[in-house]
Structure 1
Amino acid sequence: MPSTPKPPLQRLPLRLKTIAADQDIVSEGDTPAECCLLVGGFACRYNVTAEGKRQIQSFHMSGDIPDLQTLHLEVMDHNLGTLIPCKLAFIQHDDLRALMRNHPRLGDLFWRDTLIDAAVFRQWVVNVGRRQAPARMAHLLCELLVRLRAVELVEDHAFTLPVTQGDLADAMGLSNVHVNRVSQELRAKGLIALHGKTLKVLDWEGLKRTGEFDPTYLHLAKKEAL
């Protein structure tokens, strides 16, 4: 009996690599010739100011291709780095371009993915720029829960929080002390519980209200958006 052909993306030549935590996958100023598919782990986009302060602009998890823009933008204008050890599959730009020429619907999906990235960026700008610290953290935790649930990494509203307090601070524009204080406040209100690296949302509706969270910007199917 003939075997089922692999989907076109899986037939591409892939260069697999495991990268340790807190390492750059690609750095600002690089001119990469390949994109990376995050097979496992957790990564982030970030820039660093002249004073050495890091601003995280997005988190990325299994299934994401966080540097698709390098197909059209020659020079990296930010860094893409690991937060925990990550397994990556690197795909040459030429192979991706050939794939999109031969399978236009896949090209449409990649374009949609970059549009959703832009939608996430808009929400992060609002979150960092206009929400108070408790709402800022609540919104970020809601986003993580929904996105991790979509890749089946959530069980009973609980998930491994694969980031440090410092990472959260850099994502929300807060100090480590402020992040700790806000986390305690959310726990005191019965919205979340944190045991080691496991975060459980105890009051989903309450956390959404606190963070003014509406998952529409993630453009997931209704069953994935809680």
Structure 2
Amino acid sequence: MPLISLDIPRPAIVSGSSGGIGRAIALAIAELGCPVVAHYGKSAEAAGETVQQIARAGGRAIAVRADLTNVADAERLVEKSRRAFGRIGVLVNNAGVATRRDVCANTVDDFDGAISANARSAFLLTQLVLPDMRELGWGRLIFLSSIAARTGGVISTPYAGSKAMVEGMMHHYAAHAAPFGVTANAIAPAFIATDMIAGSALPPHMPIRRYGSPEEVAMVAQTIIACGFMTGQTIEVNGGLHMS
């Protein structure tokens, strides 16, 4: 019997499931018994590996491609998910972009791209699945944020701004979707061992002197899904780099 379990496992969509944090969360959600839709944008092979890992562990999963900056594509993703597994009960908004820029090199295109990929896509998917959650009387919305939403981070101005927007949306959903049995929370990682931070040195004042793992972020996602009394929170997974 796992330490965390669900009475009724609900179908889940995890955006950006090709690897890293997204893949780890998809696998962790499958451990709860949830059928998983592993969304991907470009790498069918990597998303297929996520599905295969879930299947080898005895779970159910499919991979679905979608450009989440495109409304019709996002709608198709949700419809394919419903046809495969039924009404969606869990949504993890993990997909996004992070392009490093010197502060003076930020462009309007960088800004528009970050907002579209990181914030607009999360809004779009959330609006599409909320009716399912309302009908179920149960739902879990998880938004992947970043330490950059609080400290500015090291990536770029547009990235930090888009993650702050994600947390603002999360707070609104938490306040207004609770009567439907829906919780909304965010996870804000930093210095997790993924391609995004490859080559980045650990800050000298970081208390835990190592990189975090995607699996450690995924543990938090499991807890958020299992706990119906937590909403409107940002859980920081950052080795003590920013304490709240």
Instruction: State the TM-score, normalized to the length of structure 2.
Output: 0.30
Instruction: State the TM-score, normalized to the length of structure 1.
Output: 0.31
Q: Which has the higher strand share?
A: 1
Specify the structure having the higher radius of gyration (Cα). 1
